[in-house]
Structure 1
Amino acid sequence: MAKKNNDEKENLDEVVEETTQQEDSQTEQDAADQEMEQLKQQVQELKDQNLRQYAEFDNFRKRTQREKLESYKNATADCVLQFITVLDNLERALDAEKEDSSMKKGVEMIATQFKEVMAKMDVHEINALNQPFDPELHNAVNQVQDENYGENTICQVFQKGYQMGDKVIRHAMVVVANP
């Protein structure tokens, strides 16, 4: 009977050991599966982070390009504005009555060339006379009542305005009829 008890005890120990091994094996498998899920999650997070950084860098590159272009346009507009005053003086010289026609012709040629260069830079005069007043383009320096003009119509231009593309470099100084 002692032998039977020993055999049963050994069988019981073997069953317990096998069960423990199976449980340990299952626990190890669960731990490995859990670690695998964590690693998959980390990989996905790193991929997302990488994608966000790429998008952020692309946005930075585009923003920098826009700012660079805008800075160039502003610097060009500032420079052109300085030259517009020279053109104003050339036009005043043409308006002055001079007997020396060769001098007048030379000034006309210079003014024409000046306007051609400005046109190449996409700088053009704002058409103001007999146009409706637009505060985006015009600066009203006076108002008059005149039945010959419609409501809010520009009847006189004191100083020409200029645009470079869609950007106003200098507003036209105008007199507005019938405000």
Structure 2
Amino acid sequence: MSKEKTNKNETIEEELEVVDPVEEEDVAEAVSLEEEIISLKQDIENLKNDYLKTFADTENLKKRLQREHETARKYRIQSFATSILPVIDNLERALIQDTSDEAFREGVQMIYEQLMASLKAEGVEPIEALNQPFDPNIHQAMMMEEVDGVEPNIVVQELQKGYMLKDRILRASMVKVSQ
């Protein structure tokens, strides 16, 4: 029986060798692959975040440039209108003068009206100041004077017209205000 037992033991040992247990190298390689997969997943997540941040930055830049373009378009005439205001002032002074040449006066009046109509079409409007409450945002007080029958802080005289371009002030009105 001992011989039989010995043969059985040898057969079992041979079978165990055929099954070949998992070697340490295979385990190490599997662990290494798992770590690489985790690392690659983290890289993908980082790249997604970078993409989303870049996309958001691009959208914000696009919106900002659009707003700047609209503002530039809205106020494109501002520098021209500011430079033409002294011409308007001189035309108004010319119209105030007494002259015997009525044709000359009519010519100046027509030029003034055409210029004002062109500026109005672009959004330039004179600021109404006379007999209005003083507003430091649109009026520049040059003098104060007590005027009988007029409430305090009312514009009693306009020394120089002010103008607005849409919702911006091109030039504040120079005014005399009641005390």
Q: Tell me the TM-score normalized by structure 1.
A: 0.82
**Which residue in the other structure is 1:125 paired with?**
126
1:150 CA displacement? 1.8
**Which residue in the other structure is 2:114 paired with?**
113
Identical aligned residues as a percent: 34
Say whether 1:143 aligns with 2:141: no
Contact 2:131 2:155 (8 Å CA) reproduced = yes
Q: Structure 1 stretches (4+) deviating beyond 6 angstroms?
A: none
1:152 CA displacement? 1.2
SS, match of residue 77 in structure 2: helix
Larger deviation: 64-73 or 155-164?
A: 64-73
Segments of structure 2 that go 5 or more residues without pairing to the other structure are: none
**Which residue in the other structure is 1:38 paired with?**
39
Deviation string for 1:38-72 (max 9, x for gaps)?
A: 32332232122112112212222332343345456
CA RMSD of aligned residues (A): 2.7
Q: Tell me the TM-score normalized by structure 2.
A: 0.82
Contact 2:75 2:165 (8 Å CA) reproduced = no
1:73 CA displacement? 5.7
Larger deviation: 37-46 or 64-73?
A: 64-73
Rounded to whole Å, the distance in 1 between the matches of 2:39 and 2:130 is 74
Say whether 1:154 aligns with 2:172: no
Q: Aligned letter for 1:164?
A: L
Segments of structure 1 that go 5 or more residues without pairing to the other structure are: none
Deviation string for 1:125-161 (max 9, x for gaps)?
A: 0111111111111111111122322221111100000
